[in-house]
A and B are shown apart, each in its own frame.
Chain A
Amino acid sequence: MTVSVELELQSFVLLRLGERRFAVSAKQIAELVAPSRVFRFPHRTPKLEGVILRRGRIVPVCDVSELLLGKKLTTRRFYLIAVRNYGSQKEWVAVPVSGECELINLEMMSASESDAPHVAGWLSHDGDVIEVLNLDSLTPGPALAAVKPEGPQVAEVHP
């Protein structure tokens, strides 16, 4: 008897933070860019460093390494520009990473109830078990109920 198992392969971007590897669904990734100047200004949201300018957009920079590794990255090679969902709205967020990224196709094991909220699932790759990150949980944002559609993200000014 032959049992045929249909694998649900999905694309993931493997990223490196310090010594550890993590994955993010490729659907959530817009691009990988070289580090550029971070513009800082006063604010009170933890984990946000400031913003970068990318293709005319102002993109917040969120270092998730402290939450995942317990320390900040000492070297940054790229910013992974990911799409963050806020209810029905989507915005870019730049996540600093410390190494090359890789695109892989694998089947994801679902997260269990005991996993942290930032874990979307698990991948088995190259002998490692890798956390798939839920960026919506890992990066700051208002409570979903508080997110209401605003006007256009970039508007001509109206004094």
Chain B
Amino acid sequence: MNLKVTKRPIMGFAAILILIFHFFPISWQKNGITEITNFITLISYIGVDIFLFTTGYMLYYSDTSNYFKYIKRKTSKLYILFVLFSLINLFINNLSILSFFKTIFGIDLFIKGGTSFLWFIPSIIIVYLLAPLFTNVIKKYNGKIKYIIILLIWLIVVMLLELLIKNNSINIFLCRIPIIVIGTYFVEFDIKKYKTYFMFLLLIVGFFLIYEYGYISKLNYPIESFFYITAIPFIIGIILFLDIILSKYKSNVLEFLGSITLELYSLQMLFGQMIFESIYKLFNDKYYSFFIVSLILIFLSYLLKLLVTELSKKDS
């Protein structure tokens, strides 16, 4: 895998998928074409998993020797933006102060899962908080068995939680842990031979799994949100495909989008729906509305990125 080089454009691709998932119109009047667009739209949540795979991959290379320095480096900007957006959300939606604190301390993530505001940010912060421990274990022991043990521990924990706790909303995050672990696995045990064949195999098998269990009816057995696990073969197939293509051909657009993922995600969750509704009201064309809302969000994210970069420079 060439992910150290292709990571940025792959993240850009993931950002497009997340935009599609949130704003591409679903056609409830079905025909041949809308079957395809609906499928793409409704499985585009895998953008998050693609992002997490690259995170897992890069964790292996992170310098985690000084825990606090590492945490500060990885989470400070992320958390400041999270608090800022939560504050804006508080005013826009007239929320209570209690709800604001529940959001910024990550309590909402455990209570509401994917419906908590910007759920991905507290989730990724948890990943970074645990990353030094995880990478120490990975680097300390040789062989593939350590990955199997980690995944077994994960399975036991989520099964126990399923049995003991009624509200398993947090599974939107917990069921993404395996893809992070697999990302790290690919650093140590990359597929060198028959990579293209393996990719096709994963795409074909993965397509049937995601169509059956992760598209319209979603698998919530043996644990809630288990469909994220059944989507893994397809996700890895897509990543291998992108890695092969983007190693050969550079994509400035994807590279650019890969540099504004955090801003794009935050802005779309805050303003995206409102902007979509406004444009749709005016033009009454759902596809055009999607196109325009995407353009606006990308542009605003770019401006925000510039602003944050400027402020960071001044700060340093």
The yes or no verdict on A and B being binding partners is no
